Structure 1
Amino acid sequence: MEQQIYLPAPMGQGVIRRIRLQKGLEIIISDLKLEKNMKLNIKSSYSIFELNYCLSGEAFCHCENNRHHVKEESGNICYLEHARVYLERQSGIRNHTLELRMSPQSLYTYFPESQDQKVIEEVLQYHRGKIEPCPISPAVQKCVYEIAGCSYKGTAKKIYLQGKILELVSMFLQEHISGYNPENVGIHLNDYDIMKLYEVRRIVLNNLETPFSIKSLALQAGINETKLKNGFRKLFGTTIFGLIRSQRMEKAVRL
């Protein structure tokens, strides 16, 4: 089932698409340009696990004394149980987001093994009531854009989206469960840290042929080396040198 809600003219322009694939599994795709900042007060009446990807735009979220700045080309994760969330979207810019919402029961159906479910439960409990950055590697970004741009209709669309969601969740769990690293999970990234890590990412992407070291990047961005190494992996789902490798390979393919 798919619903489309068009923004009334006085508020701006754009559409919100809600695609419910099955009970406890839905996708929300928003593509809006607001006339004024939009402030929402959302009360979750049930347990929900969410992967949220901001393709463009900017927003501020508050949840149980946890404040989070959502930035362009970033991913976020949260697990909410009867929680209240305050969301403010910025006006005058394109706000393009994709939200994957799953009930814990729906998530468990993909991983029926008891050992997998135990680890999933540990990760859910860690993220309970918090909105935090999650990795958005090139592979994740590609998958997100394919979901947002799906042009199939009817049953073909449902099958395609379910396959892409399974791919996206699998990549998330590969990073956060199969490759579970307690050192990375325990790292807290504040707005300043995230800003600096995005700065490092921009430096690297604009200078792919430069032989950077962790020390030189840390000095250039003004962040300590440990936070740079572990924080970069936590935020983007890959190491700095993994990013350089993948970007060089993509560049070689295009040539």
Structure 2
Amino acid sequence: MTIKISQSDYYQSMGQSYHLSKNSSIDKTDIICQYPQELGKGYYREIQLREGLELAIENNQLHDDLIVECPERQHLLEFTFQISGSSSDKFVYANAGEYYFYGSGIAPHEQCQTSSKHQNLIVNVHVEPELFCCFIGENKSDIQKQLSYLVRNDNQEYYYCSKGKTTAQMQVALQQILQCPYEKITKKIFLESKILELMALLIEQTQQPKLTKTCSQKFNSEDLERLHYAKEILQRGFENPPSLIELAHQVGLNDYKLKLGFREVFQTTVFGYLQDYRMELAKRLLAERTISVQQVARKVGYAHAGYFSAAFKRKYGVNPKLYQKNHILSA
């Protein structure tokens, strides 16, 4: 069974236990909310480290899968580590040992789902873009050039990073956060230092210059941002993607530069990238075993299940029905 709830109702249900916990908390900036009994067991801990910087630790075992309906909204910079369990939103499905990273800007309407199969332990950080710029210590124009994909205007859609593997260094910092032995001001200094460490490790993995070291000098920083935007459009509209010409027009590049950019930046063609994204999504849907192969085919944009099966077998060397069956046997 899956429970669906609006974001406002979700916060309201959490807020009922928030007031109870706040009264008994020694540190008013460190609040623990017990999970509503109708949803499951566990807690949500929120630590305000400074104005514009918030650490949240969520530890729960849900009775049923939970979907929170989130409206279009202004979004801060956010990075989330899935330590155990699994969760997903419009763009990312994260298992234990994975992270996802978002920049600031406008977040679209989406459904955020948390699984009830396992206990969920999540560490989440929200950072105001102004504070992030202060942390970086550069002037605004330099940040716009180097990290424009993370700090966007209020009217721009936010940057999102597909999930990544939590590295050994990240795991150490996360365990230090969870087992923090300090109190009051020492605790805040310690936790903030660990968050900055995680932020540095994430940026190192996701920044555009690293992804494009071998990229042709024909592409400037604006071109690179347009290419990443094209990738986002393909991911969000994979069921009914635009043509190459339409995509080039949407991101403000000519079709030649778009094709060349995908080859040099993402090491694939535009169609190849879209195909890989569809196949990865199909593999995840098949492994979940909640819908048929035919339904999976439709969800990833194939009108005919036969074409989907052939494409899946070319990619993974096994037909989708057998892949799904093997996951049922091993579940």
TM-score, normalisation: structure 1: 0.66
Displacement of 1:49 in angstroms is 0.8
Alignment gaps of 5+ in structure 2: 1-28, 216-227, 229-264, 267-272, 284-314, 318-331
Deviates more, 1:25-34 or 1:114-123: 114-123
The question of whether the paired residues in 2 share the 8 Å contact of 1:61 and 1:86 is answered with yes
Displacement of 1:157 in angstroms is 0.7
Give, as a single letter, the amino acid of the residue that structure 2 aligns with 1:21.
Answer: L
Deviates more, 1:148-157 or 1:91-100: 148-157
Cα distance per residue 1:138-162 (max 9 Å; x no partner): 1012112221222321111101011
Residue 46 of structure 1: SS of its match in structure 2?
strand
Match of 2:105 in 1: 81
CA distance in 1, matches of 2:133, 2:72: 20
Matches within 5 A, 1:37-76: 37-43=65-71, 45-62=73-90, 67-76=91-100
1:118 to 136, 145, 151: 145
Match of 1:173 in 2: 203
The question of whether the paired residues in 2 share the 8 Å contact of 1:37 and 1:89 is answered with yes
Residue 9 of structure 1: SS of its match in structure 2?
coil
CA RMSD of aligned residues (A): 3.1
The question of whether the paired residues in 2 share the 8 Å contact of 1:18 and 1:28 is answered with yes
Which structure is higher in RCO with an 8 Å CA cutoff and minimum separation 6? 1
Distance 1:149-1:222 versus aligned 2 partners, 3 A rule: farther
Alignment gaps of 5+ in structure 1: 197-220, 224-255
Give, as a single letter, the amino acid of the residue that structure 2 aligns with 1:72.
Answer: A
Residue 162 of structure 1: SS of its match in structure 2?
helix
CA distance in 2, matches of 1:190, 1:127: 20
Give aligned pairs, total.
195
Displacement of 1:86 in angstroms is 1.5
Give, as a single letter, the amino acid of the residue that structure 2 aligns with 1:103.
Answer: E
CA distance in 1, matches of 2:278, 2:189: 38
Give, as a single letter, the amino acid of the residue that structure 2 aligns with 1:110.
Answer: F
The percentage of aligned residue pairs carrying the same residue is 18
1:13 to 26, 29, 41: 41
The structure in which a higher percent of residues are strand is: 1
Displacement of 1:124 in angstroms is 4.1
The question of whether the paired residues in 1 share the 8 Å contact of 2:105 and 2:157 is answered with no
Deviates more, 1:30-39 or 1:147-156: 147-156
Displacement of 1:50 in angstroms is 0.7
Displacement of 1:37 in angstroms is 1.2
Deviates more, 1:51-60 or 1:141-150: 141-150
- 1:153 and 2:178 matched: no
Distance 1:90-1:151 versus aligned 2 partners, 3 A rule: same
Cα distance per residue 1:109-163 (max 9 Å; x no partner): 1112233453122444598253521352110121122212223211111010111
TM-score, normalisation: structure 2: 0.52
- 1:32 and 2:60 matched: yes
